[in-house]
Amino acid sequence: MTLPKILDFTLDLKSKRRGKGQKIIQQRSSKRKHKESKAELTQRIQKQLKDFAKHNPEIKPKNNPENKNDRPSY
């Protein structure tokens, strides 16, 4: 009986080592994450939506009563 081919590739794998410098950089960058307030997040999302709507005029807003009949009802 032969071993399945899946087990054969594990012999080729080598352990990877990380230098001390890399680990320190990762720890520092994770501590510097800026937490956005809810107001900042909402404002940023609204700006992205306005920019998207400006560049994609063919997409109509769902809540506009004028476009109500354009959507299929499910």
Predicted confidence (pLDDT) per residue in 5-14, tens digit: 555 555 555 5
Q: Note the pLDDT of residue 40.
A: 87
What are the structure tokens assigned to 9, written together?
């590739």
Sequential DSSP letters for the chain: -PPPHHHHGGGG-------HHHHHHHHHHHHTPPPPPHHHHHHHHHHHHHHHHHH-TTSPPTT-GGGGGGSPP-
**Residues 50-61: tens digit of each pLDDT:** 888 888 877 766
Entry pTM? 0.35
